[in-house]
Every structure is written in structure tokens, then in C-alpha cells.
Structure 1
Amino acid sequence: MSKTQRIEEKVTIHYEKGLHVRVAATIVQKADRLQNEYNVLYSVHREGLHNVPLTSILLVTALKVKKGEEIYLVTEGEQAEEASKEMKQFLEGDFNISPSELNQVDNLLQDNVITAENVYSNIESGLLVVDNQHTIIIYNTEAEHLFGIPAREVLGRKVTEVFPDSRLPEVVDTKEPILGYTREIGKSTIVVNTTPIIENDEIKGAISTFEDVSRLVQISWEFEEVKELKERYLQILEAVQDGICVFDREGTVTYINGSYNEITGENISEGDNIHEISPNGSRMRVLEKGQKIMGEISQKKNGKSVVANIVPIIVNQQITGGISVVKNLSEIEELIDRISHLSAKTEYLEEELHRRKKLNPAFNRIVGVSNKLYDAMKLAAKTADNNFNVLIRGESGTGKELIAEAIHYSSERATQPFIRVNCAAIPENLLESEMFGHVKGAYTGAIKTKIGKFELADKGTIFLDEIGELDKSMQAKMLRVIQKKEFQRVGDDRTITVDARIIAATNRNLEELVENGEFREDLYYRLNVIPIWLPPLRERREDIPVLSEYFLNKIAEELGCEPKKLSGEAMDALIHYSWPGNIRELENVMERINILADGREVQKEDLPHYISENYHTAVNDEVPSEAVTENGLYDAGLSLGKTSAEEIVTGNDEIMPWEYYEREIIRKALKKYGSYNAAGKALGLTHKTVAAKARKYHIEE
């Protein structure tokens, strides 16, 4: 397979007259023949100039090569070596040609003359050329139109015979150009430029070009008024708050006001091209399709939202450019956000006010005298001095929320929001929206932008109660907030940063959930930076009298009456009860006896039966050993000893609460079968149900 060659050789021109027009024609004719013969391409260049095809008379002539000067011949093709050698020899020769070849050269010259005449005729300016004898040799169509004289009456005559005031003879004689002078021809004002034609330091003639500026002259009187009007419009455009950008058909910006860059965050100047700025943007679509775009909302790199109206400029059914007008939506959105934020805060504060009215301020203080409670409080007080995450552990009703409040209101964030979220109380499909908020239209029913709990808690504290109830997908989103302190509203791609201290709480065994794959291990370690364990009420029995008196006083204050007192037997019964519902259950019991007890002193008989009966068994020392828990506390359920659930129901006229029987049945099943799975099969329940009931009643497997 032949290989393409490229040969470049230096050629010295020896011909007396150099490469004038006829010689150039001869070279072109020769090059055309040899290119076909050798299947190559010829080009030439001089030092510092680009290659030109050797088959173009005009370009070869334009090189203006004289005798003794050098040019470079470039030959490309499969037979470049032979073709280069033959063409070089021809270029360095005397260009003697045969009559037949001369005829071909003349035809070639004639073709190029016709081409030049076509060029002259189609020039919009008038063209008049004379030789060095002042004879008119070129007179184009536009010149005929301007002067009203046909070419046949002009060509070949002295220029002064046709145009007595022409300055062409002056330019020929002086070899100096005369530029920008005017002539009145009929009703037209003509601007004339006349320049000499010099070749090899010899004057060859002169050329005049004519431009009709009559229309410009006619409107020149309006120029100052137009200029003033333009300045007024520009001042108006600069004064408006909307951004305005005007661009032409090629996409070049011809005008842009100061507001445009300020709103969009771009840095566009007049002369910039939108092809380069945003090749796939709305402005380009308008230029390409000629259809206006109205009300298009977009998010800019500076974070601002803008709405754009872009319309094409159409003149004579042709698109000549476009105008883009942008408005700033971010300020409106920020205002809406602020209103939503304030609205959400108002709603929250109203709820808090309601809570404060319902609860005496003293309720915020944690009541108790036990060492275990004191230890938990001391640790909580230490955490108030820092911003580490806190995980409060304990059974339901032990006061985890009160501890969280105490930490917040004794910290540097005390003047900032304290936001409560019960993870178990919010439906799973709404939890993300509640936590992080949503934008208008994010889903069906999202009729307005909603601020999430995390955003409300900015600079303050968020209390995540029942954190163990979160599903896995929500756990992942929560982990991101904890790690990066940022999140996105539902339906929005804008990232919001938040500075909120996180205090979580749970009554679940998170370690077991992690082991079973129900809770993310990384989230567990993120939350469990400072763990605080709150003991159940049965493990701090010395607090029961204090709490009972506190609740009775609180209830009396709310009712506006004297507080009731507990008798010794009633207090002993309360102390010996296991309190599976902890402090919350104790408060409910105090509310109940405050209503049902007739006298000011509450007797044992005024207590619920499941409490008073347990106390009766305990004081008669009939409590079996298994009724005492490993913590040394009395368990009402275990006090039944070997009595079956059936015996309890049929052998006793007293009807106990349902939980009383349920607890005993679960305890006996687990004791007999040893596992949640086996106990569940015996009871006709799932092992998850048995496990949940065991946790509820604090029964060990």
C-alpha cells in the first residue's frame, strides 16, 4: 500500500518579470495538469505567510514574487517526489509556452477577469478605476446607478471628460490618497475615498469608491434627540429592579443592566456570548426556536431563585436577537420562609404556653431524694456545659423529657428553642416531613411550605423521644443530620444547615436492636455520646412519698382546694407497689384518688384494688421469695406465687385490671418454657408480642 508523502522545497524565481499575472496563469495551468497526472496537491508560500493553492491565479499573483526571490513549494501525495521535481524545474525556468498552451492560459485569464467583473458588479459601493493615463478602466453597476451614466459611455474615456470634478487625476499625479470627501450628485450625498494603485514603486492608476450617505444625512438632524432619548431609556433600564439582558442573533450581549448580574449571580458584560456562558440555557433555546419563554423559574449558583421572561426580537420575520428579563424570587421565598418559620414558632409557642399553663412551673424541677436519681441529675448537669449528644435511657414514665428540659434550660442554649419530637407518635409517612419540613407541592396535600422540627431547633435543642421507634430509612436521614448538621426539606434540593443540640431518649434496648439489625450501629454510637440512665420508680422507692405529696399539692392548686393527705397504710401500699408505669402511673393514681376519696385523708381503701391488695399480701408476710426482684423490690405480679390465672379469676370475687392477669400469664409462660418463642407458641402469640409484653411488665426471659 502506497504511503502519502509531503515534500517541501525552496524555489528561486529566475524569470525577469517575476510571477506577474500571465506567468501566474501559466503556473496554474501547469499545476492543474500535473496534479491530475501525479495525483498530488501543490501549494506555495513565502517566509511568514500561509500556504496558498498553486491553482489560484489571484492568490499566486498576490504573493508578488519578483526575480531572484524565493518561495517554498509544498507537494503532497503518493508520487510527491516526482511531482515536486517537475514543478520545481518549471518554476525556476523561463516559462516558455507553446501557442496551444498560450491559448489555454488566455482562456484561464479571461475566466478570472469575468470573475473579477462579477465581484466588482456586486459590490454595494460605487467603484471607478483609472490607469496612469487617467483612462477609465473599471466602472461597476453601483457607479452606474449613482451617476446615472451607463458603462458603455464611460469606459475607455478620460475621467475628466465624464467627471470634470474628479480627483482621480490628482491622486495619480501625486501618488497620495484623498479620503472621506463628499460630492453632491443629484439629490444624493456621496462620500468618496480615492487611493493610488502602486506596484513596484510605479503608479499604475487610482481607484475611487463611492458611498451614498443621503439617508444618514436626512436623519442626522434627529441624532441629538435620539441620543437624548436613548440616554433616558438607559437610565430607566438601569433604575428598574428587574434584570435586563439584550443579545443579538449571534448570542452576543449588546446591553445588560446592573440588576441582571446582581439577581442571577452571573458576571456577564456587554460583548460576552451566551453560547459560551450557557450553551444549553433558555436564552439559547429562544434564539434557536424563536419562541418566547415566560415565567421559567430556576435556581442559580448563588442560591437565589429567579423567574425569567425571555422573548425573541423578530424583524422582517427574522430572529435578530432576544431580551431576557429576570425577577428575584429568593427575597419573596425568604420572606415566605420567615413567615412560615414565625408561624411554626408561634404554633409551637402556643402549644408550650398551653403546657406551661397546665403545668405549674415547679413541675419543671425534677422531684426526688434517691441517690440513683441524684446521680443521674449530676451527670445531666455536667452535660449542660457542653454540646455533646445525650441519650437518656429509661422505662416509660421515668421523666426522660424533664431531664432533657433541665439540660437545655441550664445550658448556653437556654434562650433558644427547645423542640420536642415523639418519634413513635408521628405516622411513618409523615415523619420525614415533620423532622425536616417540606416545600409547597412536594406531595399531595403540601399546600404550603412547612418548617421542620430540626429547622425550628436551630441554635437550640431538639429532644427526640422514643428514638428506638425510627425505621431504617429515617435512621439514615437522621444520621446525616447528626454527622453533617445539614438536611433537605422534602421536595427541595436546597441544603439547609442547622446548629441544634440533640438529646434523644428511649425505653427500648438499643443494643439488642443493633444486634438484631433493627437499629443502625453508627447512629447508636452517634447518639450514645453521653448516656444517662433514669432508674424506674420501683428502684427508688424513697421518692414515692415525695412525688405523691408533690402531685397532690399540684392537683389541689389546679382545683383551687386544700391538698389531700395520704394515710400511713395508703403510703405503705404505694411504696410496695411495683409501678410498671413509673411516675406517669403514680400521677394518674393521685389524680384518681383525689376525685374518688371522700375525706381529706386518703385511706388504703381509696387506692385502686390492684395496689391495695398487693399491699395486704405483703404486710401479712405471705410474699413468696420469687416475688422479690433482683433489685430487692416487691413485684405485685410475682406475689401470686403458684396461683394460676384461672384460680385468680374464679376464686376471687374481686375483679382486677386486665394488665394484672396479662402480666401473670406472661410471667408463668416464660418461667415454664424459658424463651419468647416457646412461650409464644404455648400462648398462641408471636414471639415479638411476648417479648413486647415482657418488656412492658419488666419480666426477665
Structure 2
Amino acid sequence: MEKISEIIKSPINIHSQISAKIVRKVNEICINYNVKVMLRKSGSIRLIPASSMLSMATFFVSKGNEVEIIIEGDDCSIAMKEIKKFFIEDLKHVDDESGTYELLKNTSIAYEEIFNSIALGLIVTDENGIITIFNKAAEKVTGFNLDKAIGKAISDVIPDIDVKDVLSNGDELLNKKFMIEDKILFINITPIYVGGKISGSLIVFQDFPQVEYLEGELKRSRKLDKAFDIIIGNSGKLKDALTIASKAAETDSNVIIRGESGTGKELVANAIHYSSKRKNKPFIRVNCAAIPSTLLESELFGHEKGAFTGAVTQKMGKFELADGGSIFLDEIGDIPIETQVKLLRVLQDKEFERVGGIKTIKVDVRIIAATNKNLEEAIKNGTFREDLYYRLNVIPILLPSLKDRKEDIPILIEHFIKKINKKLGKDIKFVTNKAIKALIKYDWPGNIRELENLIERCITLCDKEYIDLEDLPSYIKNVKDNKEDDIIYLGRNYDLEKMEDYEYKIIKAALSKYKSFNKAGKALGLTHKTVASKARKYHLVEN
């Protein structure tokens, strides 16, 4: 197979209207001489299939500029003579309005900019499966260069992508999973119709990490029931936990809420119940750690008159009181092993007997448990039954500690100021930036409960309209920064990540905090355009 090329000077401004004439002539030559014709502008690496209007629509050359003609096939020399004659002699006599050229050229440039700014990979082929458009995202995701892809058959560039059925029958291929080298891609292939006929195919794809990210954001943005409004915070870890809790509320499955003391486990349990179909039924709370082990069984299951010394009347237990609704068993890790046997029966069979009774009582109760204990360790130590653990652990929800969601501290402070002002009849307006920085630096072993108690103490003792650094206790205002003033804390034994990974985290954190390109840019010392560009680069926003 022969391949030749020659350079000519364009006798006319070439734009999409002129390109239509070129495409007709080139197709005629390609059929007559069994060749393939490509064009390239002077100074460009991009090859344009001259037989495809989809490609030629964006091919613009000013009068007098050089154009390279590349011909590959059987009778290349004869084909080259005809094409040169067409360019040099025939096109010279075509009327052209310079205004039309500029208008169409600018429109074409705009289209190219749009194609290349789209974060999704985008490939367009003609009716023969030849690639005519290959945007920058396609280059990045597939690893193929534009100049090596344009003019090639899609099957030669990406063998796993087959557009034959799309081009011949108009069949669509949607949400297909592909592997290209080590990357997982989700691909849509649809036909392009012009005048009712299929004139090409459109291939749109994105890589799996981006899909995962978007799915995660979609889950987090899910509208929660108003019952969850009592839980304050916007951090990603908290939103993840609340999304699971919201889904759990739609079922009757057992839930166990894990988290340190003071992280708000009871609030989440409350929200699950009052956003569920049982919201109009009882919600009974039991703090298992606060009830002596000798009385816990009686509290949970009730007792008959005379069952033990002091049982002068019959008493209903918490499970009976919760019938039709939910029971919240807080600190379930503190339940004695002997009581766990009876609790397991309730979980399995929804029935029990009161202490000292013989009558079996049936109940319909949804169980929400919570603990700050390591139940897995308790199972190893023999203090918690493994079968009970698996019965409870149907939907586990892990609440983050306050030190893992410090970005929520400012809005928690604002919430507590309003709440405690109302409670104490005070009018504290705000907390100074210095005080907030000190509060963020502290690690909060007592979590949100400790923060609320501290704000109440400060409001009670404060004589000003605001809380300042001097109003905080010494163990908070004098805390040393264990990150040694590093901008990014790496720890003692660390592995460095790529610079782009740090840039991604910083841009994401800034946008999460400030919610706009302008504000994030000011905080980072960048222009809003730079922040926007990098946000798109890392797929943090839609293009």
C-alpha cells in the first residue's frame, strides 16, 4: 500500500461550507482510486479525514496558508493530481465572503473548546467507524494521543469498542463496563443521525474512580428526613453515617450504632425511629449501663407480683412498652451475659416471659442498639455472645468522633450558643476566631457532649457579648499543636503522596468549607479561575 504527501497553499479561505465541497470531491476520488485522504494544517499535528464532514466541519484554513495532503492506498499519484487540481484550480473560482469565514471559524473554535473542556471522554466516528473527534479527556483516560487517534478506525485504536451494530442498525450501547489497560471505564455508544440517516457514532465514557466519586456525592446529597435535622454537621464522615441511618429507617432491620461516648448515638437512634413507619408508636430508651445488673432483666422484660423481694405489683417491661415501636438499648455492651440469652430470644422469636412468669408475651419491636465498647474484643473475652452480636449487627452505623470532624466545630458552636442562650437567658453573640482556632486544635475526648458543656460553662461565666480565647479553660487555650505547625501533617513514619494528591485534597477542602470559587481562591491565594480549573481537573464539580 502506497502513501504519499504534498504541501499546497490554499487559494481560498476554507470553512465548513467550502469543506462540504471538499468532502464530496474527496469521497468521489476515494471510491475511484481506492485511497484514504487526510489533511493537516501547517503547524498542526492533527490529521483530518477529508472524506468525513464530521471532521471537516472544524477544519479552517486562511487563504495562502499551507495545507498538507496525505494519501494512502492504491492509486495515490493519480488521486493526488486530481485533489491538487481541485484545490488549486476549482476552489479558486468559489465565491467566498470573508465575514462568513470569520463567523464560522469562531464558531468552530468555540465548539473545539467545548469538546476539550468536557470532563467526560468523547469520541466521534464517521459512518465507517473512523475517528473524527477525540477530546482531551479521551486522551487522558485512554492514554492515546489525539494525532494517533484521528483518522484511524476506532477498532484500531481501542479494539474492545465495537461500533458496527450502532452504525448499521442504530443500536445503542448504554452503561457498558470496559477495561482499557488497567482502567475501568463506563461507556455509552449512540448513533449520530443526519437527515434521518446514520452518519456516525458518539462514544462517551468516564473512568470508574470518577463514577465512584459522583455516586458517593449523590448518596451524601440525598435528602434526609426532617427527623435528622436535630443532628448538626456537614462533614463527609457524618453525612456517610446519616445516609446509612436514613436507609436503615426505611426497614425494620436491627441497627447497632458504634461510636465514642458523646458522639450523638441517641440522637441518631431518635432520628431513625421518627423517620420510620413506626414514628407514631412508642420510642423507649434504656441505658443498660445505668441499671444494676440484678434489676436489668426486670426492667427489660417486666416481672410478676411476688417474683422477688420488693415485687409487690406486676410490672410491664420496656419491651412491652415499646410494642409496635422501637426500643433503644444504649451501652448494650454492658448487658450481663445471662441477660443476653433472653435478649437473643426476643431478637429471634419476638417473645419472652416476665421475671417470675410463665405466660409467653409476643411483641413487635424494632431494636436499635448502641455501644462505645469493642464488641469484637468482648466476644474474644467471653463477655458478649457472638450469636447476639451477629443478630444486632445487621446494619452497623459508625459515628465519627469530634476530632475526626473538626470542620463541624464552628457550626456546632453556633448551634450551642443559640440553644444555651435560650436556656440561660443570656445573649452571647459569637466566639472569636482565636477562640475557635484553639477549640479546633483541641482533640475533644468527650466529643460533642464535652463541647456543649464547655460552651455552657463559657456562656455562664462570660460578662461580654462574645467568648474570647481568655474565656477558655487553660487545658484548651494552652494546648500545643501536635502537628508542629506543618501545613500538612505527615506523622513520624510517612509515605509521601504525589503532589497532585495533595492539591486535590486542598482544593476539595477549600470548596467544602467556602462553597465558592471566589472565597476558596482568596483563602488559598489563588484566582477564582485557577480554583475552578483545578476543581474541574479533579472532577470536584461538573463542567
**TM-score for the superposition, normalised by structure 1:** 0.37
Larger Rg over CA atoms:
1
Q: Which protein, 1 or 2, shows the higher relative CO under an 8 Å CA cutoff with sep ≥ 6?
A: 2
TM-score by length of 2: 0.47
